[in-house]
A and B are shown apart, each in its own frame.
Chain A
Amino acid sequence: MEEEMRAHVELRTRQNIKTGMSPEGALHAARRQFGWKESIKETCRDERGVGWIENMGQDIRYGARMLRKNPGFTFVAVLTLALGIGICTAIFSVVNSILLRPMPFPESDRLVVLREDKLPDLVDFAVAPGNYFSWREQTMSFENLAAELTGNFNLTGTGNPMRLNVRFITANYLATLRIHPLLGRDLRAEDETSGHEKVVLLSYGFWQRQFGGVADILERTMQLDGNTYTIIGVLPQSFRRENKSDIYAPAVFGAQGRQNHGAHFLDITGRLKTGVTLDTARREMKVIAGRMSEAFPDTNKGWGANVTSLLDYAVGPSRPLFFSLLGAVSFLLLIACANVANLLLARATTRAREMSVRAALGAKRARIIRQLLTESLLLSGLSAVIASVIAQSGVRILAACAPADLPRLAEIAVDARAFALTCGLALITGISFGLVPALRAARVNPGDTLKSTGRGSSEGRRSRNLRSALVVIEVAVAFVLLAGAGLLIRSFVRLQNVRPGFQPDNTVAVTVSLAGNKYGAAAQQAEFAERAITQLSAIPGVQKVGASVVLPFSGDDFNLRFNIDGRPRVDPSVRQGTLYYAITPAYFSAMGVSLLRGRFFDSRDIAGRPRVAIINESMAKKFFPAEDPIGKRINLSNGPESFREIVGIVGDVKHYRLNDEGELTLQTYEPFAQQPYEFMTFVVRTHGPQTSLVSGIRAAIAAIDKDLPIASVRPLTELLVDSLARQRFSMFLFAVFSGAALLLSAIGIYGVMAYSVTQRTGEIGIRMALGAQRTHVLGLVFRHGGRLIALGLVAGLAGALALTRFIAFMLFGVGAYDPLTFAMLAILLTGVAALACFLPARKATLVNPMVALRNE
């Protein structure tokens, strides 16, 4: 094009010379005639329509330059958007991974979980083997029904003895899930028969950790609980189930076991036949359970069966938690978008003059719009890049500090769809609020905008109202989030302060399972416990040692039915159970549980002597309200009928969670020596922190039996902290969201106030010239800001009252409408908002009236 124009000019020059002009004059005249080359070039380019890539490049460069010229605006806008998108994507990803994505099995929507229930007391109970086998024979709805239970094996013969998590499965378990072993073979029906059952499958992780992932793993043997097991296969890396298991062994039921309809300990997974619906299966199971209720009235009367989809069963109970998190993070995104919208609106009004000038100089409306669009896209693009980094690390942080019992924890990953969704939302915000003012400005007659000073123009006012409305919304939403966080924090503090009933400091727990033939008899088990306590007590620094068959806050529990002597027998269909512990005499002092009446167990209470029991305060209050329990007799259902005399009352101990109440607090103890078990947990209390305690404990146990592994040594304080993991998790997240919301709202308020001050500089100047004091000017700004904040608080209060009920299920000791919490948060929010107003207010008082008036 350049060349063509030059040629044109030269030709005209020649003509001019012919008509008599001097050469320079001719050239000059020709050039002048040609006109403004650049403008012509641009118009030509526009006419062409081709070369849009060139145009876009120009737009991008121009947009980047604009963004760089306003670093403050760019920084705040990009960071706000990035935070909003990033955090939202992280939460959306987690929710999607856990709640929405199908389980990682082929056709997992056909997989179901079968449980038993005995309404109205037992809603979700394990299945008895007798029932399982009967179902297998009788049902038509299922392609396969598999059973599993978890347990432990002691691995010996390879260096230190190890305690392994085992999953005992029926032969059709893997087939039901449609999982094929990575190496070797699946279980076969004959592996369930005695004589052939000593085979195991290794989990992928265990194969890597224990055997270094060697290729020739098949046909090797392991010593488990004193028996030789052959390794027949390895499972794929992708196969993961809750309660991670190291090895999988066949679940063997003898003839008696298959007839046992009363002991409930199996988990059943089934695959529906193609074409069979969940409802059909439910109805069939109802009929079958009814049939069995009549066939086996002693064990099955009142028992039913229920069928739930695998996904529902795994994640259903966690849904309320996740939905509340989702709601909270959506609010955060709302605030982020509102802030960005505010920023863009402010900038648009500032640039209205620039747009008018360009329009006056001949720029096409479409061109201006395209340029602004490119700028918004650049902004959004930059935010999206930073957001993806935030999202990735956010997901990793969430996975790391999530409670260990969160379902499908291992499957959390960043979700592309979530990212696309949140990016899309941010993009829409950016584009709409970036473009709308541009469209308006381009429509308005450039002359008007250039003439006016921007004060009081109707366009400016509408924009200002919109921005004020956005700030009010931000403050309101921030208050709602703060309310949620505040309530959760107070609940958490309340929960942490609950007394557990024992002294957890300087005390550790060690679990031991006596396996195999060496400890089959009760006497051997009791003897082991005694020897272990002696050995452990000898460790330097150890103050007291006790043992119990099951420990509070360990995740295990032992529930038994009971009857009190002299009272009418309780019908088996009525629920009357107590938490049960078989303990050594020093258990209570090792745990730091207080004795209220009577005595602890001592050397009198051994095998062959009269049986005794100790109950806790809640038991005493509930069943002996008007009389002394000491001397009364109680029978427990863990053996043939044998009444124990109650010799003492101890304080209540929380067992499952710190917020246990009601029936969960009935506790009964009997001496381990009189009722030994093959597993027990030792409680070791030391004078203070001991550095080599763990190795000392290991040595002590090894001294008795070198083939006996111990599970990890855990301080009791750690058990308590873990029990609060879920509450801590939700509190932490809500605190992060509300903190971010508070920050963003403060920025929003600051932005609006600062802008308003700039706009009203003239007015302020006039006022000051007429004699207004600084305080008056301060008051002006604070009044404006105060109005917005007050409106926001009122709206926020209404919102909080409406919405906190959705997190009521997570609260403890604090009501969903707690006035104290709301009041404190209102003060906090007002304080922060006032601070945000302060800086612009100060700037207002520094206005020099002379300068301001001159600029009018």
Chain B
Amino acid sequence: MQKTELLQGTLDMLILKVLLRQPVHGFGICQRIQQLSDEVLSVGEGSLYPALYRLQDQGWIESEWGQSENNRRARYYRLTKAGRKQLEVENVGWERMCLAIRQVMQSA
């Protein structure tokens, strides 16, 4: 499996998107991203947790303790209202950048 390097900003966006539907714990976020990207993207814990703390600091996600599948305490993260808005913003930015890159690559 080829590990594609993720830009730091992109990881933030992916996390926000994963949390859009429902609160998830750290391991779950890793899994979702891996699954949703068909195993192309895999997030290492070394990148995930700092990112989570960063997002918490910015006020875009918040966390609380809950019960995981194997009945252990795990920290669940969920989007805040500000986070929802931020996701919108990042999405728009990302789309614009993709378009731009595609245009360059498809030029003669």
**What residues of chain A have their CB less than 8 Å away from a CB belonging to chain B?**
3-5, 7-8, 10-12, 14-15, 33-36, 39-40, 43-44, 46-50
**Which residues does chain B contribute within 8 Å of A34, judged by CB atoms?**
45
In the complex, the answer to whether A39 meets B46 with C-beta atoms within 8 Å is: yes
**Which residues does chain B contribute within 8 Å of A40, judged by CB atoms?**
45-46, 49-50
CA distance A812 to B53 in the complex (A): 76
Question: Counting CB contacts under 8 A, is B32 at the interface?
Answer: no
**Which residues does chain B contribute within 8 Å of A48, judged by CB atoms?**
53, 56-57
Given known A14-B70, A44-B53, A48-B57, contact A8–B46 (CB-CB < 8 A): no
In the complex, the answer to whether A35 meets B74 with C-beta atoms within 8 Å is: no
In the complex, the answer to whether B70 meets A11 with C-beta atoms within 8 Å is: yes
Question: Can you identify 30 A-B contacts, CB atoms within 8 angstroms?
Answer: A4-B74, A4-B75, A5-B45, A7-B25, A7-B26, A7-B68, A7-B75, A8-B26, A10-B68, A11-B25, A11-B27, A11-B28, A11-B69, A11-B70, A14-B69, A14-B70, A15-B31, A33-B44, A35-B44, A35-B45, A36-B46, A39-B46, A40-B46, A40-B50, A43-B50, A47-B50, A47-B53, A47-B54, A48-B57, A49-B57
With both beta carbons as reference points, the residue of chain A lying nearest to B72 in the complex is identified as A7
The interface bits of chain B over 65-104 (1 if a CB of A lies within 8 angstroms of the residue's CB, else 0) are 0001110111100000000000000000000000000000
With both beta carbons as reference points, the residue of chain A lying nearest to B27 in the complex is identified as A11
**What residues of chain B have their CB less than 8 Å away from a CB belonging to chain A?**
25-28, 31, 44-46, 49-50, 53-54, 56-57, 68-70, 72-75
CA distance A50 to B53 in the complex (A): 11
With both beta carbons as reference points, the residue of chain B lying nearest to A14 in the complex is identified as B70
**Which residues does chain B contribute within 8 Å of A3, judged by CB atoms?**
73
**Which residues does chain A contribute within 8 Å of B45, judged by CB atoms?**
5, 8, 33-35, 40
From A4, A5, A34, A39, residue with most partner B Cβ within 10 Å = A4
Closest chain-A Cβ to B43's Cβ sits at a distance in Å of: 11
In the complex, the answer to whether B69 meets A35 with C-beta atoms within 8 Å is: no
Q: How many A-B residue pairs have CB under 8 A?
A: 62
**Which residues does chain A contribute within 8 Å of B46, judged by CB atoms?**
35-36, 39-40, 43
**Which residues does chain B contribute within 8 Å of A49, judged by CB atoms?**
57
CA distance A3 to B49 in the complex (A): 13
With both beta carbons as reference points, the residue of chain B lying nearest to A15 in the complex is identified as B31
**Which residues does chain A contribute within 8 Å of B74, judged by CB atoms?**
4, 7-8, 11
In the complex, the answer to whether A12 meets B27 with C-beta atoms within 8 Å is: yes
**Which residues does chain A contribute within 8 Å of B69, judged by CB atoms?**
11, 14
CA distance A831 to B68 in the complex (A): 79
**Which residues does chain A contribute within 8 Å of B44, judged by CB atoms?**
33, 35
With both beta carbons as reference points, the residue of chain B lying nearest to A45 in the complex is identified as B53
In the complex, the answer to whether B57 meets A11 with C-beta atoms within 8 Å is: no
**Which residues does chain B contribute within 8 Å of A12, judged by CB atoms?**
27
Closest chain-B Cβ to A724's Cβ sits at a distance in Å of: 71
In the complex, the answer to whether A10 meets B72 with C-beta atoms within 8 Å is: yes
Given known A34-B45, A35-B44, contact A4–B26 (CB-CB < 8 A): yes
Closest chain-B Cβ to A18's Cβ sits at a distance in Å of: 11
In the complex, the answer to whether A11 meets B68 with C-beta atoms within 8 Å is: yes
In the complex, the answer to whether B70 meets A10 with C-beta atoms within 8 Å is: yes
In the complex, the answer to whether A7 meets B54 with C-beta atoms within 8 Å is: no
Closest chain-B Cβ to A14's Cβ sits at a distance in Å of: 6
CA distance A3 to B72 in the complex (A): 10
> 6 closest A-B pairs (Cβ-Cβ)?
A7-B74, A11-B27, A4-B75, A44-B53, A47-B54, A47-B53
CA distance A12 to B43 in the complex (A): 13
**Which residues does chain B contribute within 8 Å of A36, judged by CB atoms?**
46
Closest chain-B Cβ to A9's Cβ sits at a distance in Å of: 8
CA distance A49 to B55 in the complex (A): 12
CA distance A12 to B45 in the complex (A): 11
In the complex, the answer to whether B27 meets A8 with C-beta atoms within 8 Å is: yes
With both beta carbons as reference points, the residue of chain A lying nearest to B44 in the complex is identified as A35
**Which residues does chain A contribute within 8 Å of B73, judged by CB atoms?**
3, 7
CA distance A36 to B46 in the complex (A): 8
**Which residues does chain B contribute within 8 Å of A39, judged by CB atoms?**
46
CA distance A46 to B57 in the complex (A): 11
**Which residues does chain B contribute within 8 Å of A11, judged by CB atoms?**
25, 27-28, 68-70, 72, 74
**Which residues does chain A contribute within 8 Å of B68, judged by CB atoms?**
7, 10-11
With both beta carbons as reference points, the residue of chain B lying nearest to A10 in the complex is identified as B72
In the complex, the answer to whether A44 meets B50 with C-beta atoms within 8 Å is: yes
CA distance A40 to B25 in the complex (A): 17
Closest chain-B Cβ to A409's Cβ sits at a distance in Å of: 61
Closest chain-B Cβ to A718's Cβ sits at a distance in Å of: 76
CA distance A237 to B28 in the complex (A): 79
**Which residues does chain A contribute within 8 Å of B27, judged by CB atoms?**
7-8, 11-12
Given contacts A10-B72, A33-B45, 8 further A-B contacts (CB under 8 A): A3-B73, A7-B25, A7-B27, A8-B26, A11-B27, A40-B49, A40-B50, A50-B57
Given known A4-B75, A7-B68, contact A47–B57 (CB-CB < 8 A): yes
CA distance A33 to B69 in the complex (A): 20
With both beta carbons as reference points, the residue of chain A lying nearest to B69 in the complex is identified as A11
With both beta carbons as reference points, the residue of chain B lying nearest to A13 in the complex is identified as B70
CA distance A679 to B60 in the complex (A): 96
**Which residues does chain A contribute within 8 Å of B26, judged by CB atoms?**
4, 7-8
**Which residues does chain B contribute within 8 Å of A14, judged by CB atoms?**
69-70
With both beta carbons as reference points, the residue of chain B lying nearest to A49 in the complex is identified as B57
**Which residues does chain A contribute within 8 Å of B57, judged by CB atoms?**
47-50
**Which residues does chain B contribute within 8 Å of A44, judged by CB atoms?**
49-50, 53
Closest chain-A Cβ to B85's Cβ sits at a distance in Å of: 21
Closest chain-A Cβ to B107's Cβ sits at a distance in Å of: 38
CA distance A15 to B45 in the complex (A): 15
CA distance A43 to B72 in the complex (A): 25
With both beta carbons as reference points, the residue of chain A lying nearest to B74 in the complex is identified as A7
CA distance A3 to B75 in the complex (A): 9
**Which residues does chain B contribute within 8 Å of A43, judged by CB atoms?**
46, 49-50
**Which residues does chain A contribute within 8 Å of B31, judged by CB atoms?**
15
CA distance A43 to B44 in the complex (A): 14
CA distance A195 to B17 in the complex (A): 105
CA distance A36 to B47 in the complex (A): 12
**Which residues does chain B contribute within 8 Å of A46, judged by CB atoms?**
50
Closest chain-B Cβ to A16's Cβ sits at a distance in Å of: 12
CA distance A11 to B46 in the complex (A): 16
CA distance A777 to B46 in the complex (A): 55
**Which residues does chain B contribute within 8 Å of A4, judged by CB atoms?**
26, 74-75
